[in-house]
Amino acid sequence: MPDFYPIARRILFSLDAEAAHHATLAMMKTADAFGVLGQLAGLDEGPDPVASREVEVMGLTFPNRVGLAAGLDKKGEAISAFGNLGFGHVEVGTVTPMAQSGNDKPRLFRLKEHEAIINRMGFNNPGVPSMMENIGKSRRGFRGILGINIGKNKDTPNEGFIDDYLKCLEGVYQAADYITANLSSPNTKGLRDLQSESNCRELILRMQERREKLKGENDGKYVPFVIKIAPDLAEDAVKALAAVFSETRIDGVITTNTTIERAGVSGHEYAKEAGGLSGAPLTEKATEILALLRSEMDDAIPIIGSGGVMSPADARAKFDAGASLVQVYSGLIYRGATLVREIAEELE
């Protein structure tokens, strides 16, 4: 089967980045509904290539080690389509308790020469109730693991942030296989301050307490939750968080979100745009943070590696640094869907 992605990419990259994003999701959903998504994405036909790569992480059976990072399916509208591209897990969101429109446009920039993206979307999302409706429809036929990434509304002051996470936890619990508390988007003012040792400990303990109650109300269903951290944390801050994660026995951690640094892209016309940088310039930094956390944290707590996974070799480096699973966002935009299966094979 020929890989149409190089042609599709040329067309998509001629559009404004956010328009291309919406066009791609719409196309994917349609192709999936007609059962031709795999062919269009240049994937081989034949036996299910992800069937024999099952791996147990956080008590869940993942079909393979590669997942879709949060932010691409913010509304939870294309879950089965992403599953059919070969992702073993799909993380939707970030979703906040109430719908919000996010920052003004333009807010998404491609730095093609660097295989990078800068975004300052600002948690544009439909809010928990609408997200749950979307998920009910779009997960039909999906055999992978569904992660739901949660955050706080822009207008919620940091003093009340825990309530927003608890509201989301309540709202998404039933539908989620795992839940990610996102404390690391650079595009919601003050959000990253929630990564302080005391804020993080309090959040984890309150979420664990609420989960006990939700477990009772959901026939004993235990939903693991993880915290997603930033690559811009200082070494001491990572060590302090590692201690909190070990002490609270959190289910897992995602390293990392996008970076506010501009190393590797300075001089580019978009380098000075505010927001988080992802893709190739983030690869090494994200792996360093992963390795540091791995060396400091209780071995039993799994890490999901995100940040600049652009090739099977990048995925292997995350795995070697201690990740149990990896996630991809920018790599999918620059390399296309064949990357997903190549990584799944590499990490088999």
Ligand X SMILES: Cc1cc2nc3c(=O)[nH]c(=O)nc-3n(C[C@H](O)[C@H](O)[C@H](O)COP(=O)(O)O)c2cc1C
Q: CB 279 → ligand X: shortest distance, Å?
A: 5
DSSP per position, 8-46: HHHHHHTS-HHHHHHHHHHHHHHHHHTT-HHHHTT---S
**Residues 122, 307, 322, 336: which binds ligand X (CB under 6 A)?**
307
Only one residue has tokens 């799944």, namely: 344
Among 119, 134, 188, 287, binds ligand X (CB under 6 A): 119
| Choices 82-90, 152-160, 192-200, 302-310; region in contact with ligand X by CB under 6 A | 302-310
Q: Return the residue of 8, 12, 60, 108 that touches ligand X, per CB under 6 A.
A: 108
Indicate if 101 belongs to the active site: no
Q: Spell out, one character per residue from 149 to 178, where the chain touches ligand X: x when CB under 6 A holds, - when not.
A: x-----------------------------
Q: CB-wise, 32 or 115, nearer to ligand X?
A: 115
Amino acid residing at 6: P
Pure H helices in 141-264 = 161-172, 197-217, 235-248
Residues in contact with ligand X, counted by CB under 6 A, come to a total of: 28
* Length of the chain measured in residues: 348
Among 309, 317, 321, 337, contact with ligand X (rule: CB under 6 A): 309
Please give the structure tokens belonging to residue 178.
Answer: 């795992």
Residue 327 Cβ, how far from ligand X at the closest point, in Å?
A: 7
Range 165-169 contact pairs with CB under 8 angstroms and sequence separation of 24 or more: 165/203, 165/206, 165/207, 166/206, 166/207, 166/210, 167/97, 167/128, 168/95, 168/96, 168/97, 168/128, 169/207, 169/210, 169/211, 169/214, 169/225
Kindly tell me which of 36 and 279 has the beta carbon lying closer to ligand X. 279
| Residue 122 interacts with ligand X (CB under 6 A): yes or no | no
Active site residues: 185
> For binding to ligand X (CB under 6 A), which residues are involved?
69-71, 74, 93-94, 108, 117, 119, 121, 123, 149, 182, 185, 228, 257-258, 278-279, 282, 306-309, 328-331
